[in-house]
A and B are shown apart, each in its own frame.
Chain A
Amino acid sequence: MSDIWVVFIVVLISWLGLAGYFLFLHNKTKELEKTVKELQDSIKGRN
Chain B
Amino acid sequence: MKKASSIVLLVVSFIWIPLIIWGSFMYAPSAKGLGHTARIIFYHVPLAWISVVAFFISAWYSWKVLQGINQESQEISKFDTFAATAAELGLLFAFLATVTGSIWAKKIWGSYWNWDPRETSIFILLIIYGAYFALRTAITNPQDKLRLSAVYSLIAVVTVPFFVFIVPRIFASLHPDPLINEQGKIHMDGKMLLVFLNSLAAFTIMFFYIYKTKIKIKLLQLTISELEEEYE
Measured CB to CB, the residues of B under 8 A from A are: 9, 13-14, 17-18, 21, 24-25, 36, 39, 43, 107, 206, 209-210, 213-214, 216-217, 220-221, 223-224, 227-228, 230-231
Tell me whether B36 and A39 are in contact (CB under 8 A): no
CA distance A40 to B120 in the complex (A): 51
Tell whether, in the assembled complex, residue A32 and residue B228 are in contact, meaning their CB atoms are under 8 Å apart. Answer: no
Q: Are A29 and B220 in contact (CB under 8 A)?
A: yes
Cross-interface CB contact of B25 among A4, A15, A40, cutoff 8 Å: A4
How would you classify the secondary structure of chain B's contact residues: helix, strand, loop or mixed?
A: helix
Beta-carbon contact of A22 and B220 below 8 Å: no
State whether B217 touches A22 (Cβ < 8 A): no
User: In terms of DSSP, what is the predominant structure of the interface of chain A?
Assistant: helix
Chain B neighbourhood of A42, CB < 8 A? 231
At the interface, yes or no: A1 with Cβ under 8 Å from chain B?
A: no
The interface residues of chain B lying within 8 Å CB-to-CB of A46 are 231
Give A46 to B9 CA distance when docked, in angstroms. Answer: 39
> Within the assembled complex, what's the spacing in Å between the Cα atoms of A42 and B227?
10
B27 to chain A: closest CB distance in Å?
13
Shortest A35–chain B CB gap in Å is 6
Q: Which residues of A contact B36 (CB under 8 A)?
A: 3-4, 7
The residue on B at minimum CB distance from A21 is B210
